Structure 1
Amino acid sequence: MNLGRGVPLHAIPPDAPLCIVGFKAGRKDLFFCEDPSLRLSEGDLVIVEADRGRDVGKYIKSCTVDEVHKFQQQMVELALGQLANPATGANAGVEGLGAALGQQGPGAQANPAQLARMTKECQPKRIYTKAGPADTHALLAKAQDEIKALQLVRSKVAQKGLPMEILDAEWQWDRRKLTFYYTADQRVDFRELVRELFRIWKTRVWLCCLDQQQPSFDLQ
């Protein structure tokens, strides 16, 4: 089992609760709780399995397997509808999904990569435990480092004249990944920028376009 890739929905123990956890930039993802006795309330900070490591997010609510299946079916229907009639937009005609397609607005056209993400099988990751007092204190340092990173990258983007706007920065809890959220009206070649940022922080650097991020779980 590869850390960070999650577990197929059908392979999760039936007594493991499913939960939605939120992160920066409106990102939400689905997790399962390894400890069924762990009691979580809305707003609790939880330590979760992340990309090749661990992260901290905010517990939003629990959900059922049926709700997840319904959400996935809606994503398939959206993708099929977009393929059949691209002019209508990927999120036209579906009720109750809210931010399920991230920042993609009415009439936006999904590309093949987005359609693939929309129909990808759900593989929830683990919730390990609640964040403790020391973890909460460390969040303040992480937030300060994110502000510094955001300021630095904005200056780099301006210096290089890249046609993009950097909106936010997010360190993974274990500092194994640094994500910058951006918007752009055209394709941007930021490979040189990423190499330069890697030399600065010596960690994985990921630039995430908010118009193309994977659908977030927003089960309503």
Structure 2
Amino acid sequence: MKKVISVRFKAGGKAYYFDPADLDVQTGDHVIVETARGIECGEVVAGPKEIPDSQVVRELKTVKRMADAVDIRRMEKNRADEKTAFEICTQRIAAHKLEMKLVEAEYNLDRTKIVFYFTADGRIDFRDLVKDLAGVFHTRIELRQIGVRDESKMLGGLGICGQPFCCSRFLKDFQPVSIKMAKEQGLSLNPTKISGSCGRLMCCLAYEQKAYEYLNSITPMNGSVVRTPEFEGVVVEANPVSGMLKVRPLNESLAPKYFRRSECVYLRGGKRAPKAPDPDQE
């Protein structure tokens, strides 16, 4: 077991594990740590806790010290100056006629480096742009190309559900999402209805996938022949979530009727439900 704290460097960003050493660190404190980008000031979003060694994928870096008022003021000034840097870089990109879209500018704490994040359709030769920016900011310049999902995470916004983007609020990593998930959940395959603002399939398709896989596995699907309390018939409509089946009698003189999944016994055809516990019978 290892003792760790979780540190986040920007709102909605990913939290990283650090070793608090002997410091008395609590949630809400600010600490100074060393990252791949250099020295950074981050907020502790989860106080000291112990986790299994298997959850630590790389060597933990130790917190250097608690942040003081000077560090916090410097961090706030950097955030303000990043807006100016963003505007200047945007102007320089236009001047160099580069096919790239600037997303965000980011200083590290000691201002020894500034990173510009951008999106582009292909590879961009930005060597002249870097020289230009270095002459303006007199510090190390790094341009980093990101994907459209990362862009949405950085910029934020509202999804079609009316809530702020999941990636901007709580998603730590992007999970693979496939069109198969939309099919299994009975959603429209119209790209405009199942895609997020980033243009990729919505991340929320993955949230309930395991539940849908289970419900689909225990639900007789369309074309299955089942025995209901009243007759034998063919399933013409199945709702795995509600557990309701619309069954057309084999005797076509009778009208279709709705039955609960737990009331029907699978006989043949269609998709057979395996022998598994049914939530409706709990």
TM-score, normalized by length of structure 1? 0.58
Partner residue of 2:39? 54
Of the candidates 47, 63, 67, which is equivalent to residue 127 of structure 1? 63
User: How far did residue 59 of structure 1 move?
Assistant: 1.7
Alpha-carbon separation, structure 2, partners of 1:210 and 1:23: 18
Question: Is the 1:164–1:183 contact (alpha carbons within 8 Å) kept by the matching residues of 2?
Answer: yes
Q: How does 1:58-137 map to 2 (within 5 A)?
A: 58-61=43-46, 64-66=50-52, 69-70=54-55, 72=57, 122-137=58-73
User: How far did residue 27 of structure 1 move?
Assistant: 4.6
User: How far did residue 197 of structure 1 move?
Assistant: 1.5
Alpha-carbon separation, structure 2, partners of 1:151 and 1:158: 11
Partner residue of 1:145? 81
Flag structure 2 segments of 5+ consecutive residues without an equivalent: 151-170, 174-282
Alpha-carbon separation, structure 1, partners of 2:14 and 2:103: 14
Structure 1 outlier segments of 4+, above 4 Å = 62-65
Partner residue of 2:4? 18
Alpha-carbon separation, structure 2, partners of 1:126 and 1:167: 31
Of the candidates 7, 16, 28, which is equivalent to residue 29 of structure 1? 16
Question: Is the 1:38–1:129 contact (alpha carbons within 8 Å) kept by the matching residues of 2?
Answer: no
Of the candidates 93, 96, 119, which is equivalent to residue 183 of structure 1? 119
Change (3 A) 1:69 1:175: same
Question: Greater relative contact order: 1 or 2 (C-alpha under 8 angstroms, separation 6 or more)?
Answer: 1
Alpha-carbon separation, structure 1, partners of 2:3 and 2:21: 8
Alpha-carbon separation, structure 1, partners of 2:49 and 2:126: 38
Alpha-carbon separation, structure 2, partners of 1:69 and 1:26: 23
Question: Is the 1:167–1:180 contact (alpha carbons within 8 Å) kept by the matching residues of 2?
Answer: yes
TM-score, normalized by length of structure 2? 0.46
Q: For 1:175, give the aligned amino acid.
A: R
Partner residue of 2:96? 160
Question: Is the 2:29–2:44 contact (alpha carbons within 8 Å) kept by the matching residues of 1?
Answer: yes
Partner residue of 2:272? none
Partner residue of 2:131? 195
Change (3 A) 1:151 1:63: farther
Change (3 A) 1:17 1:70: closer
Flag structure 1 segments of 5+ consecutive residues without an equivalent: 1-13, 73-121
Question: Is the 2:37–2:108 contact (alpha carbons within 8 Å) kept by the matching residues of 1?
Answer: no
Question: Is the 2:41–2:72 contact (alpha carbons within 8 Å) kept by the matching residues of 1?
Answer: no
Alpha-carbon separation, structure 2, partners of 1:30 and 1:211: 24
Alpha-carbon separation, structure 2, partners of 1:27 and 1:192: 32
Question: Is the 1:182–1:210 contact (alpha carbons within 8 Å) kept by the matching residues of 2?
Answer: yes
* 1:188-210 superposed Cα distances (whole Å, 9 cap, x missing partner): 11121112212222222112223
Instruction: Say which one has the larger Rg.
Output: 2
Alpha-carbon separation, structure 2, partners of 1:55 and 1:169: 15
Alpha-carbon separation, structure 2, partners of 1:205 and 1:40: 34
Larger helix share, 1 or 2: 1
CA RMSD of aligned residues (A): 2.9
User: How far did residue 65 of structure 1 move?
Assistant: 4.2
User: How far did residue 33 of structure 1 move?
Assistant: 1.7
SS in 2 for 1:134: helix
User: How far did residue 22 of structure 1 move?
Assistant: 1.8
